[in-house]
């Protein structure tokens, strides 16, 4: 009984690390694609995926892909088109298989390596807003031999009604 609980705990941690290091899910949570409860949905997703593996025998990679795809679509309004879904599904299937075979130490090492690799990567950050960019008045142009600073061309004047008029240079 203790071995089964240990397998479940090790696999649960593996699912948590795999999903938390998945850039698609990271972006969805960081950008609030799931609403104000995005982080709670991601945490819930870990439990649901773990239970999905334990509740279904002989899962195939395609079934896991479909399940993850549906979860991301329903909870985060996100469709995965970057090719990472098969990789994540394959990793989860492999880790589950190793847990079922009793290779818990190997799974723990793989999970630790994945977490370490992820912590050395940079975090996803948002781009500066147009208001933040307005403070920059010069644009840098660099080539191999030198860098020079050129002022930006003046912005066209706005008419009284708010329209910007663009005229030909003569």
Q: What is the pTM of this model?
A: 0.66
**Is-contact 25 31, C-beta < 8 A?**
no
**Is-contact 99 110, C-beta < 8 A?**
no
**Is-contact 44 52, C-beta < 8 A?**
no
pLDDT tens across 88-108, in order?
999 999 999 999 998 889 998
pLDDT tens across 50-72, in order?
999 999 988 999 999 999 999 99
What residue spans define the domains of the chain? 2-119
CA distances from 70 to 13, 19, 66, 165 (A): 22, 15, 6, 48
Poorest-confidence range of 2-16, 138-152, 156-170? 138-152
Confidence of residue 138 (pLDDT cuts 50, 70, 90): very low
């Amino acid at each position: 009984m203790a071995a089964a609980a240990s397998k479940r705990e090790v696999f649960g941690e593996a699912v948590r690390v795999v999903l938390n290091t998945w850039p698609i899910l990271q972006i969805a949570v960081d950008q609030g694609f799931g609403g104000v409860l995005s982080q709670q949905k991601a945490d819930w997703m870990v439990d649901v995926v773990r239970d999905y593996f334990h509740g279904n025998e002989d899962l195939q990679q395609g079934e896991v892909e479909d399940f993850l795809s549906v979860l991301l679509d329903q909870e985060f309004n996100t469709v995965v088109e970057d090719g990472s879904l098969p990789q994540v599904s394959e990793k989860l299937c492999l880790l589950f298989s190793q847990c079922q075979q009793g290779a818990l130490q190997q799974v723990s090492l793989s999970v630790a390596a994945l977490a370490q690799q992820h912590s050395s990567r940079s975090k996803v950050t948002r781009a500066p807003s147009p208001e933040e960019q307005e403070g920059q008045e010069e644009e840098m142009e660099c080539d191999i031999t030198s860098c020079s600073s050129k002022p930006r061309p003046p912005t066209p004047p706005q008419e009284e009604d708010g329209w910007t008029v663009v005229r030909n240079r003569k």
